[in-house]
Chain A
Amino acid sequence: MKFVVCVKLTPDTEELNEVRPEDVGADDLGVTMVLNPWDEFAVEEALQLQERFEGETVAVTVGGEDATDALKRAVAMGIEETVLLSDPAFEGSDAWGTAHILAEAIKGLGEYGLILTGKQSVDGNSGLVAPGLAVKLGVPFVSQVARVVDLTDSSVTVVRALDEGRQTVRVKLPAVISVSKEINEPRYPNFMGIRKASRMKYPVMAAADLPGLDTGQIGVDAALVKWTDLHKPPARGGTCEFITGETTAALVAALVDKLVADKVV
C-alpha cells in the first residue's frame, strides 16, 4: 500500500513570535523554517504503518524551492519518495486551492491507499487542507487520529479523539487522516537518514505536469478567503502586582480578596 504524507514548511515554533505581521506572505519571513511540527507525527505514523503493514512512503508538499527542506527532513526520517509542487500559479491559493493541487498530484502517484497529514500547520492554523483534500479526492476523512488500530486493503480502523471521548471508526480506503500529537513520538533522523536526504534528488512538478488541474481553482484569484489587517495580539497592559505577606495565610488571603474583588471567582 502507498502511504502519502502531505507536509508543509513552516516557521520553527520557537520563533513564531518573531514573525512580523507585515512580512506574512513574503518569500522570507526572517525566521528559521522547518517541517511543520504537526507533520512530524504524520511522517512518523507513515513510517510505522509501513513497518506494520508494508508499503511505500511518499511525501508531498506545495511551496517554493525552499519547501524542499520540509521534504528533506521527511526523507531523513525515512520517507522514500518525494514530490515538490511548485509553480507561481500556485501562490496565494487558499486551503481549497492547495487541496486541489495536492489532489491532482496524488492522483498521478498511481494507486494510493492512506493519506496522512498533521493536525494543522503552525502558521495557517486552519486545519482545512486535509478535509479539503479528502473532498477533492472524493474519499473519507478522519481528523484527530490518536491511533491506527488496523489496516486492510479496503479499510482503515482508527481511534479519533473527539472532545468528549475516543471514537473508534472504520472508513473505506483510500482515505485521508489527520493525526494528533498523541499518536506517536516522532523519531530524530539518524546519520544515515541525513546523508540519504542530502544526496537525494527532489523532483519538482509544476501546473503543466498535472493534467487534471483546473487553474480556475488555484492561486490568489480563486481564493475564497483572504487574510487582512494582520497584527500582533494586544499586549497585556500593566505590570505584575507581587502579593506578599507576613505569613502564607496572610498572603493567600490578600490574593483571595483581590480575585473576589475582580469578580473572577
Chain B
Amino acid sequence: MSILVYIDHFAGAGKPASWETLGKARELADTLGDSVIGLVIGHQVRPLAAEAITYGADRVLVADDPALATFQAHAYAAALKAAIAEAGPRIILAPATTGARDVAALAAGELGIGLAADCQDLALDGDHNLLAVRPVFSGNIIATEVFAQQPQMATVRGRSFPLPESDPARTGEIKDLVVDLAAVAGWEEVLGFETTQTGEVSVETANIIVSGGRGVKGPEGFEPLRELAQVLGAAVGASRAAVDAGWIPYPAQVGQTGKTVRPDLYVACGISGAIQHLAGMTNSKVIVAINKDKDAPIFNVAQYGIVGDLFEIVPALTRAFRARLGQ
C-alpha cells in the first residue's frame, strides 16, 4: 500500500508545508510498512521530484505539461485524480495551502473520498486508519476526524510538523504521469497573475511574528514593528482592529477571521487580546505582550509581559536584538 502526497510549489520551489507533510507521510508509511509516493504537477518541475525523494518519497509521479504551467484548480485536480488512480493509495495528504486545498477538495469530491481539511496533527488508530486532528469552531474546539472508508484524505496546515531533513543520498523512482485534460477543457482560463509577495515574510510560514493592534494608532505606527521584524527575520501580523481600520492589508490579519498561526515567538504590540485574536495565535510557542494596560487580556496568554508604551519599547527591543544578533 502507499501514501500519496501532493507537493505544492511556487516559482520552482517546493513550499515548506509540502515537505513538512511529506515528512509526516514518511513517518506514517514507516509505521504501516507502506511506500510514499509524491505528486508534482506543473511544467518543468522535474527538479522538485528529485527533491521530494531527498525528503522521503520512494516514488514521484510528475504531471509535466505546458498546459499545467500555471495553477488551475480543475486541471490540477484532474492530475491528482489520475495520480490516485495510478497509485491506489490508502492515504492521500496535501499541504493546506490555498491552491492545494481546492485541488484536494475537487478531486476528493469527484472520487467520493472523505476529506479532513486543514488538519494540525495526524495519527493512526489500531486498524491503520487515519486520525485527523483539526481545529473547529474557529480554533475554539479541537476535533479528531475519523473516516468511514479508504482511501482517507487530509490537508495539513503549515508548521504542524517539522521540516524533515533532506538526504541527498536517498534514491527513488521518478515516473511521468499522463493527464487527460479534455474533461475540463474550456472550464478555466488564467488571464493574469500579480504577485503580492513584497519580500516580507508571510505570517503563515514565519518562525517569528511581530503583530500590532489598535495600540499602534495608525498605518505609520506599524513602522517600528516592521523594523523589529526585519532584524528578527519575522513576519508582521495584525489584529482585526488594525486591519479593519485600514492600517495594514488583510493578509496580515491573525485571528478567527484571519490566519491561524503557530510561530515560535509571537510579539503582540498594542493588542488587547480579544477572543477572536487569541483563537488565532495561542498555539504560538512563546508569546510576548507589550501593552499600556496591565489588565489587558493578552497578558493572560503571554509568557512575558511588558507594561509600557510600545513606541518606546519596540524600538529599544530592535536596538537590543540588533546588537545581540550582531547586525
Residues of A within 8 A of B (CB): 11, 13-14, 16-17, 19, 21, 24, 37-38, 94-96, 99, 122-128, 131-132, 134-136, 140-144, 157, 161-172, 180-182, 223-233, 236, 238, 240-243, 248-249, 251-253, 255-256, 258-260, 262, 264-265
Contacts and interface: CB of A to CB of B under 8 A. Distances in A.
A136 B58 CA distance: 34
A182 B257 CA distance: 11
A256 B317 contact: yes
11 contacts: A124-B136, A127-B117, A128-B115, A141-B74, A163-B98, A165-B193, A168-B191, A172-B186, A227-B136, A228-B143, A252-B316
A165 B195 contact: yes
B31 interface: no
Given A144-B98, A165-B194, A181-B257, A242 B114 contact: no
Contacts of B279: 16-17
B320 A252 contact: yes
A227 B145 contact: yes
B137 A169 contact: no
Interface stretch (B21-29, B59-67, B99-107, B164-172): B99-107
Contacts of A258: 304
Contacts of B140: 16-17, 19, 232-233
Nearest to B191: A168
B189 A170 contact: yes
B193 A166 contact: yes
Contacts of A14: 275-276
A131 B208 CA distance: 33
B12 interface: no
Given A162-B99, A166-B196, A167-B192, A128 B117 contact: yes
Contacts of B71: 162, 167
Contact of B256 (A16, A157, A264): A16
Given A236-B282, A241-B305, A24 B141 contact: yes
A164 B70 CA distance: 13
Interface of B: 10-11, 15, 70-74, 97-99, 101-102, 105-106, 109-110, 112-118, 132, 134-149, 186-197, 202, 204, 208, 232, 250-251, 256-257, 264-265, 275-276, 279, 282-283, 285-289, 294, 299-308, 312-313, 316-317, 319-321, 324-325
A223 B188 contact: no
Nearest to B192: A168
A126 B101 CA distance: 10
B323 to A, nearest CB: 9
A252 B145 CA distance: 44
A248 to B, nearest CB: 5
Contact of A131 (B102, B286, B306): B102
B258 to A, nearest CB: 8
A17 to B, nearest CB: 5
B114 A181 contact: no
A19 B320 contact: no
Contacts of B282: 233, 236
Nearest to B324: A256
A73 B202 CA distance: 35
B283 A233 contact: yes
Please name the 6 residue pairs, one residue from A and one from B, whose CB atoms are nearest each other, closest first: A224-B114, A135-B109, A131-B105, A165-B195, A126-B117, A264-B265
Contacts of A232: 140-142
Nearest to A119: B257
B126 to A, nearest CB: 14
A249 B320 contact: yes
B313 A252 contact: yes
A258 to B, nearest CB: 6
Given A124-B136, A136-B109, A182-B250, A227 B143 contact: yes
A229 B197 CA distance: 39
Contacts of A37: 257
Nearest to B187: A140
A181 to B, nearest CB: 6
Nearest to B307: A242
Contacts of B196: 161, 164-166
Given A124-B136, A127-B101, A256-B324, A166 B194 contact: yes
A127 B325 CA distance: 42
Contacts of A238: 303
B45 to A, nearest CB: 16
B142 A167 contact: no
B144 A229 contact: yes
Contact of B115 (A165, A172, A180, A225): A225
Nearest to A15: B275
Contact of B142 (A134, A230, A256): A230
Contacts of A157: 191
B145 A164 contact: no
B55 to A, nearest CB: 20
B116 A225 contact: yes
Contacts of A167: 70-71, 190, 192-193
Contact of A225 (B11, B72, B114, B325): B114
A181 B134 contact: no
Nearest to A171: B188
Contacts of A123: 136-138
A103 to B, nearest CB: 11
A99 B197 CA distance: 34
